[in-house]
Structure 1
Amino acid sequence: MKKLIFATALSFVGLTAMANVETPELNMDETTVVVAQDFEEISVSDVPEAVTAAVAKDYPTAKVAKAYKNDQDQYKLDLTLEDGTSGSVYADAEGNWIEM
């Protein structure tokens, strides 16, 4: 009986040691930058003609579902294509596409 208790205790210690996985250390020296785009929804009719012309030229089957504008006169457009897919594109006031 002593051997059974000893074997059980030994296996428990062995399994516990194997389950002890090192957790990664949190590095507090790194800085994370989060950019808030601060877009406010506007009416689709308030989008400049240059931006709507760029959409018509580059996305001829797309319709602008929603439009947003930020303080830097940049526009976020939620587009919906005829096949039902949708996505967002960004443009400046002159109709140039920008990466966000």
Structure 2
Amino acid sequence: MKNLFLSAAIVLGGLTSFASTSQVSNTIVKTISIQDDYTEIKLEELPTAVTDALKKAYPDAVLSKAFKNTKSEYKLEVTVGDKTGNLFANADGTWIKK
């Protein structure tokens, strides 16, 4: 009878030590943001191809600011209705997805 109680205690003790062991895992997430440097330009300095593409694609858009980077890509800050956003275009008026 003592052996039965002793073996039951050993088995239960072994199970509790197993249940209390937990694995710790660390997850590291790195975010890399690549951003081209755009410098603000006057709206008059935009190529006509870009302004024509804007009028064709978004006739109700209001252009508020324009920026240019070293690759001759243009960033346009536009407002359509109550929404404001950025559009990107090449010098020939082709839209760029960013």
After TM superposition, the score normalised by the length of structure 1 is: 0.68
Letter in 1 for 2:71: Q
Q: Offset at 1:25?
A: 4.8
User: How many pairs align?
Assistant: 80
Map of 1:38 onto structure 2: 37
Greater than 6 Å deviation, 4+ residue runs: none
Percent sequence identity over aligned pairs: 35
Q: 1:22 is matched with which residue?
A: 24
Please list every run of 5 or more consecutive structure 2 residues that lacks an aligned counterpart in the other structure. 1-19
Query: Residue 54 of structure 1: SS of its match in structure 2?
Result: helix
Greater C-alpha Rg: 2
Q: CA deviation at 1:63?
A: 1.1
SS of residue paired to 1:95 = coil
Mapped partners of 1:94, 1:63: distance in 2: 20
Partner in structure 2 of residue 97 of structure 1? 95
Deviations 1:3-23 (A, max 9, x none): xxxxxxxxxxxxxxx8x8835
1:87 to 85, 88, 93: 85
Any idea what the Cα deviations from partners look like across 1:55-96, whole Å, max 9, x if unmatched?
Answer: 000000001111000000000000011x22111010000000
